[in-house]
Amino acid sequence: MKQDTHPDYHFITVQMTDGTTFQTRSTWGKEGDTMALEIDPKSHPAWTGGTRNIDQGGQVARFNKRFGGLTLKK
């Protein structure tokens, strides 16, 4: 096996958005660094079931919104 092909794997501290911390091993940063998360499973709506600020309508909903009032006269 070749020498010096793998990155340095060391302990870092991860700080969640609510201030709690835990230690894990990572290749990010240097030994003892702290990674402060901006989004984590405790606060992100995808994991908490909260509302998301995304467009819920698809192509059909947009079409009906634009052209829903049109009718064909016989």
* Residue 3, in any domain of the structure: no
- Report the number of distinct structural domains present in the chain: 1
Q: Which domain holds residue 26?
A: 10-68
Examine the pLDDT at 27 and tell me if it is beyond 90.
Answer: yes
Does any domain span residue 60?
A: yes
Please report whether residue 27 resides in a domain. Answer: yes
- Cα separation values, 67 from 57, 58, 59, 70, Å: 15, 14, 12, 6
- pTM summary value: 0.56
Q: Say if residue 32's pLDDT is above 60.
A: yes
Flag whether 1 is in a domain: no
In a domain, 26, yes or no: yes
Whether residue 17 is contained in a domain is answered as: yes
Number of continuous H segments (helices) and E segments (strands) in the chain: 2, 3
